[in-house]
Amino acid sequence: MEHCYHCGEDCLDEIIQYKEKTFCCTGCKTVFEILDSNDLSYYYDLEKAPGISPKINEGKYDYLENTEILGKLLEFDHGNTQIVSFTIPSIHCSSCIWILENLHKIHKGIKSSQVDFPKKKIRLSFSSEEINLKNLVLLLARIGYEPNISLDNYEEKEVHEDRSLIYKLGVAGFAFGNIMFLSFPEYFEINEFWLEQFKHVFRWLMFSFSLPVVFYSGKDYFISAYKGLRSGILNIDVPIALGITVLFLRSTAEIVLDLGTGFFDSLSGLIFFLLLGKFFQQKTYSFLSFERDYKSYFPIAVTRIFPEEGKPREEQIQVYKIQKGERIIIRNEELIPMDAILIKGNASIDYSFVTGEAEPVSKISGDKLFAGGRQQGGIIEIEALKPVKQSYLTQLWSDEVFSKDKNSVFQTLTNQISRRFTYAVLSIAILSAIFWMFYDPSRAGNVFTAVLIIACPCAIALAAPFTLGNMLRIFGKNQLYLKNVNIIEQTAHIDTVVFDKTGTITANDRSRIEYEGVELNENEKQLLGGSLRASNHPLSRSLYNILDKNNISTPDHFTERTGLGLETAYKELKLMIGSATFVNQSENLVQEIQSDKKAEKTSVHISSNNQYKGCFSFHNSYREGLSELFRELSKDKQLIILSGDNDGERSRLSRIIPEGTKMYFNQKPGNKLQFIKDLQKQKHKVMMVGDGLNDAGALAQSDVGIVISEDINVFSPACDGILDAKRFKDLGKFFDLSRGAIKIIKLSFLLSLCYNVIGLAFAVSGNLMPVVAAILMPLSSISIVLFTTFATQLLSKKLKN
């Protein structure tokens, strides 16, 4: 019987030979031809027989040519760029991910494809001029990955939870309880007549209960271990899979040879507690979704407007409270949080978050705007077409445009220890077996398997998920919203903290502002108000808050130059608002202002039709607890202030912050990025703390990037976490908690080591009995769970006011 090269099925109905390979049908042969012609035959090296035989009915997807249906399925549709997401049930392995993320090699019309393996979803960006949606779906179906398309699901946006982990946990728990019950007579060596008569039945029942535990509940550990070994990586699942295998084989051998009851109780308990750890981690993340974590935090708020007679009223509102039909205003560099219709203003939308293409798209009143676009230019007014879909915005943070993988150069504690642990266990097992082969050969095999059984790293595998999962939830409750648990470990290794000044260590809402210069006329005041209203820079927002908001002019032309200022115009009036050099005033005025001691402060200069008018001087109010925070951090970290403003605040800052804190002023965004790179070249672990506006490059480059957020619209995919401005003074405590979490994990490893030492003493001596394993293995897992939970809760008290 020959097997199909593509799908692995038996060739029953027909046998097709092509390039010295056998296929069961023309569909499988076609898939091979597609992959082979596009130099993607490596697909078959990743996984033998990974595909399914595609059977496509002609006309099945004709409905995808219907414009109305397309509008419901497409997430994004502008020009020749379209984006769609599909659920593909047949995604099941690394080769599936590899081929689906290389679709652009098969068809040039496909721009990019991203696979969400746990959800079995793919997100595709494609050119509608090169390939339409129908042909895209047919292409997926031809290579064995037919999408599951349900218009009802797309309309309702239902989320189907993957319950496989719950089922596996249930099976393991049921088997564990029954096997423990059946093992009690063996534990206590009860010689009652009927128990002795039926002990073989009990033992085979235990074997039967163990089968679904090993081959269903525990299969993911074997798959992960195999993939790790194939890639040359000794991950934590390798010793776990080895322990499960040895437990099962030895226990089966003992029952078959009537040598004893085996270790089926320990086997089922091991898998049950491992799955319990996974379940806890999954529920932790799910719980965070219903708390105010980062998913519900960006954009923090938008400005809702109420178009009333005469004077429109504005208010800041949390973004998820916006309903269909309500109107909001979007300023320069702000994100559009939902699909909407443009009502007023000139829109220039940057869809790079969505498509990866940074070319701005011009829109006019009445055009549809898609969620995820960022306005570049003046203020616009839009009307929401639907409520905010937080899950969609969450995808933007992890979009490939911002996928600089900081974790690729960072090894977690568990990964570091698992390799050493595996080598140590194998060494002990081999050396012990060699010793007993000379001393008592009959015990050598027993000792070798016993060492592999008792040293299974169940407790080590549980320590990090429970500790970091708990800590992520605690951080979220205290208004520090992190991207993932790895950020906690990376934070613990930070030795240098770089702070932006304006909007980061200064409080935007408590600055005292004075105007010095020629008084502005009414038209200039109106255009100034309208221009500042459109800007998202902290200085602009502070200045806008003190102006008359009832009489403002919306600019005809608006450009915000990062790190410099605003260039704006209305009819014949042109204003330049920003730094002294940007507004281009005369040499004499520049010298006069620079020589004035009163100017030793942050200033916003203004020129009208190329005539210098004056400046608004900001007497910065620094955040509460700044001095205490810097003193606390300076004990074990290098502190740096990296500001785009002038050095007018240098002397004042020197009196507030600890001596030795380095300060650099007049730094443009590119300078900040390069500064972080230079620190990293010197082997420093750097945290960048900024406001998310001019600091995007530095935040992305840093090992950990934290954005300080007030009540304005902040969304920075470049950052790793968002800290509520009210908790700024507690940043040092978050560092303490991160280090504390690592200590808890290390203590958990030591606790696990103690259990292993005790267990190994029984194993190496050849005295490991099933009852000993049944006590030690579950006890180690339970104690780790209790210890990490109690320790993290105790640690969290540092954050309580």
Q: What is the pLDDT of residues 467-487, one digit of tens each?
A: 887 888 888 888 888 877 788
pLDDT value of residue 31: 63
Q: According to CATH, where is 3.40.1110.10 located in the chain?
A: 512-619
Does 187 have pLDDT greater than 90? no
pLDDT score of 714 more than 80: no
| 3 secondary structure, DSSP code | B
Average pLDDT score over residue span 34-60 = 56
Residue 2 neighbours by CB distance under 10 Å: 12
pLDDT at residue 156 in the model: 44
Give me the pLDDT at residue 738, please.
Answer: 92
Residue pair 599/617 in contact by the 8 Å Cβ criterion = yes
Angle at 83 between CA 110 and CA 70, to 5 degrees: 110
Q: Is pLDDT of 286 > 60?
A: no
What would the CATH number be for the domain defined by 512-619? 3.40.1110.10
Confidence (pLDDT) at 9: 60
Least confident of 118-132, 451-465, 634-648: 451-465
SS3 383: strand
Task: Please state which of the ranges 39-43, 105-109, 246-250, 424-428 shows the lowest mean pLDDT.
Answer: 39-43
Which regions of the chain carry the CATH code 3.40.50.1000?
471-506+624-738
Contact 463, 236 (CB under 8 A): no
Q: Which CATH class is domain 296-402?
A: mainly beta
Q: Which two tokens stand for residue 261?
A: 């009851």
- Per-residue pLDDT averaged across 602-622, rounded? 83
Look at residue 798 and tell me whether its pLDDT is greater than 80. Answer: no
Residue 238 CA to residue 219 CA, distance in Å, equals 12
Q: Report d(CA 514, CA 501) in Å as an integer.
A: 20
Task: State residue 21 phi and psi, 5-degree precision.
Answer: -125, 155
The pLDDT assigned to 558 comes to: 83
Among 390-404, 643-657, 742-756, the least confident range:
390-404
User: Which option is the CATH number for 471-506+624-738: 3.10.310.70, 3.40.50.300, 3.40.50.150, 3.40.50.1000?
Assistant: 3.40.50.1000
CB neighbours (10 Å) of residue 165?
18
Question: Given this structure, which CATH class describes domain 1-55?
Answer: mainly beta
From residue 228, give the alpha-carbon distance in Å to each of 29, 97, 224, 239. Answer: 31, 16, 6, 11
- Percentage of the chain exceeding pLDDT 90: 9
pLDDT category of residue 398 using cuts at 50, 70 and 90 = low
* Per-residue tokens: 657: 């912050």
pLDDT tens digits, one per residue of 340-374:
899 988 888 887 666 656 567 888 888 888 887 88
Cα distance between residue 249 and residue 269, in whole Å: 16
pLDDT at residue 158 tops 60: no
C-beta separation of 277 from 461 below 8 A: yes
d(CA 544, CA 566) in angstroms, rounded, equals: 13
pLDDT of residue 67: 79
Between residues 209 and 80, which one has the greater pLDDT? 209
In which band, very low, low, confident or very high, does the pLDDT at 395 lie, cut at 50, 70 and 90?
low
pLDDT tens-digit map of 562-596: 767 888 888 889 999 988 878 865 444 444 444 44
Task: Over range 418-447, report the average pLDDT.
Answer: 79
Q: Judging by DSSP bridges, how do beta strands 361-363 and 16-18 pair with one another?
A: unpaired
Q: How far apart are CA 340 and CA 684, in angstroms?
A: 44
Maximum average pLDDT range among 325-334, 506-515, 772-781:
325-334
Contacts of 58 (CB under 8 A, 6+ apart): none
The two structure tokens encoding residue 485: 């648990």
Residue 794 one-letter amino acid:
L
Q: Give the C-alpha separation, 600 to 590, whole Å.
A: 13
pLDDT at 53 over 50: no
Residue ranges, comma separated, of all CATH 2.30.170 domains in the chain are 1-55
pLDDT surpassing 90 at residue 499: yes
The alpha-carbon radius of gyration of the chain (Å, integer) is 32
Kindly state the average pLDDT of the residues 621-640. Answer: 90
Residue 564 DSSP one-character state: T
Rounded CA gap, 43 and 144, in Å? Answer: 13
